[in-house]
């Protein structure tokens, strides 16, 4: 019996995460249509795996050990009781990370069984924490983690994304102006890391690195700070209810907005409005919905 305790659902477009536990299980021969990364999130556990070209091989997974099943690879697996974090990745996302001009053979994800890779394990844990919280920083944060995860998988098998072995170059001034202007115009919408990279004709991996080199922060953090700055103006210069301020600045809910606002400013939105309201607001209006 398998019990899923966490599922990311539609938080991110090109990959999903689930966390759960199961008793002893035998998976009959089959294959995944997406690349699957399994991280042992419990204690030591035993697994036997068969795939083409190999006999059944037994592995003992220590906490944090990783198994990688490439999309389309037939396999059979026998597990003892286990607790796992599983990330499945669309093959198309691998190409987006590496670049459209990369040869197909260089985009292959290789199988791996019971390997120790702290980077993969930590990225999966961060994705799990983000999913559990409901992606309070928006989808850009998770998309950045997913990009780093795919880049790591390619790097460890010698197929690193283009440019990974050279000095990171910042965006040109023109490209930086173009992408930041687009961000400011679209703050109310669910911004996509893929859309920002496409705007400049870059693969995801190169874009994320170049953007951080230019601004000092990753894309998700830059967008979050711009949304908070816009919300400050709305709180100080309008009578918009705080719920509306949250929606007009791209937050999924008032709760996510209030959490992010307090984390970056050390005060609640309601407190900020009371201290900075430039209108003839009543105390009730200044507090908005009281957040």
Q: What is the CATH number of the domain that holds 75?
A: 2.60.120.10
Residue 244 CB contacts under 8 Å (≥ 6 apart), including other chains: none
Q: Indicate if 204 and 240 belong to the same structural domain.
A: no
Residue 237 CB contacts under 8 Å (≥ 6 apart), including other chains: 278, 279
The answer to whether residue 262 scores a pLDDT higher than 70 is: yes
121 or 13, greater pLDDT: 121
**pTM of the entire structure?**
0.89
Q: Indicate if 207 and 75 belong to the same structural domain.
A: no
21 Ramachandran zone, left/alpha/beta (phi>0; psi -120 to 50): beta
Within a 10 A sphere around the Cβ of 59, how many other Cβ atoms? 16
Closest to 290 (Cα-Cα) out of 271, 277, 275, 276: 271
Q: Indicate if 16 and 116 belong to the same structural domain.
A: yes
Contact between 71 and 99 under an 8 Å Cβ cutoff? The reply is no
Q: Indicate if 187 and 143 belong to the same structural domain.
A: no
Q: Indicate if 139 and 41 belong to the same structural domain.
A: yes
Alpha carbons 229 and 189: distance in angstroms, whole number: 16
Residue 272 maps to a domain: yes
pLDDT 10s digits, 59-112? 999 999 999 999 999 999 999 988 999 999 999 999 999 987 787 878 889 999
202 Ramachandran zone, left/alpha/beta (phi>0; psi -120 to 50): beta
Closest to 290 (Cα-Cα) out of 274, 278, 277, 279: 274
As given in the structure block, the two tokens for residue 194 are 């893929």
Q: Indicate if 211 and 232 belong to the same structural domain.
A: no
CATH number at 261 reads: 1.10.10.60
Residue 133 maps to a domain: yes
Residue 166 maps to a domain: no
As given in the structure block, the two tokens for residue 75 are 């396999």
Contact between 188 and 247 under an 8 Å Cβ cutoff? The reply is yes
Residue 162 maps to a domain: no
Alpha carbons 274 and 145: distance in angstroms, whole number: 37
The answer to whether residue 282 scores a pLDDT higher than 70 is: no
Q: Which domain holds residue 236?
A: 228-287
Check residue 21 and give its pLDDT. Answer: 87
Number of domains in the chain: 3
Residue 236: exposure state from Cβ atoms within 10 A (0-12, 13-18, ≥19): middle
Check residue 164 and give its pLDDT. Answer: 56
The maximal CA–CA distance of the chain, rounded, in angstroms, is: 77
Q: Indicate if 21 and 107 belong to the same structural domain.
A: yes
Q: Indicate if 191 and 106 belong to the same structural domain.
A: no
CA 153, 155, 160, 161 torsion-angle sign: positive
Residue 58 maps to a domain: yes
Q: Indicate if 206 and 268 belong to the same structural domain.
A: no
Q: Indicate if 134 and 25 belong to the same structural domain.
A: yes
Q: Indicate if 121 and 180 belong to the same structural domain.
A: no
Q: Give mean pLDDT, residues 18-22.
A: 90
- Please state, for a pLDDT cut of 70, what percent of the chain lies above it: 91
Residue 268 maps to a domain: yes
Closest to 115 (Cα-Cα) out of 80, 87, 54, 157: 157
Residue 161 maps to a domain: no
Alpha carbons 232 and 226: distance in angstroms, whole number: 10
């Amino acid at each position: 019996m398998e019990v899923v305790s966490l599922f990311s659902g539609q938080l991110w477009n090109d990959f999903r995460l689930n966390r759960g536990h199961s008793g002893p299980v035998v998976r009959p021969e089959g294959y995944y249509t997406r690349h699957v990364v399994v991280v042992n999130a419990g204690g030591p556990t035993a697994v036997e795996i068969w795939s083409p070209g190999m006999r059944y091989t037994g592995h003992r997974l220590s906490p944090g050990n990783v198994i990688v099943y490439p999309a389309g690879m037939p396999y059979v697996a026998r597990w003892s009781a286990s607790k796992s974090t599983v990330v499945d990745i669309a093959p198309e996302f691998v190409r987006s990370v590496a670049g459209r001009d990369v040869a197909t053979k260089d985009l292959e994800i290789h199988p791996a069984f019971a390997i120790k890779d702290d980077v993969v394990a930590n990225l999966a844990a961060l994705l799990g924490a983000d999913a559990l919280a409901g992606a309070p920083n928006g989808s850009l944060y998770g998309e950045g983690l997913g990009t780093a995860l795919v880049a790591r998988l390619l790097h460890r098998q010698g197929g690193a994304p283009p440019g990974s072995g050279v000095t990171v170059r910042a965006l040109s001034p023109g490209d930086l102006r173009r992408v930041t202007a687009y961000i400011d115009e679209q703050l109310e919408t669910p911004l996509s890391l893929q859309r920002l990279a496409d705007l400049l004709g870059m693969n995801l991996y190169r874009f994320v690195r170049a953007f951080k080199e230019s601004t000092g922060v990753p894309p998700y953090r830059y967008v979050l700070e711009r949304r908070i700055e816009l919300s400050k103006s709305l709180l100080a210069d309008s009578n918009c209810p705080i719920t509306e301020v949250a929606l007009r600045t791209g937050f999924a809910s008032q709760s996510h907005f209030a959490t992010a606002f307090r984390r970056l400013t050390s005060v609640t939105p309601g407190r900020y409005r009371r201290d900075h309201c430039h209108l003839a607001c009543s105390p009730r209006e200044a507090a908005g919905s009281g957040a």
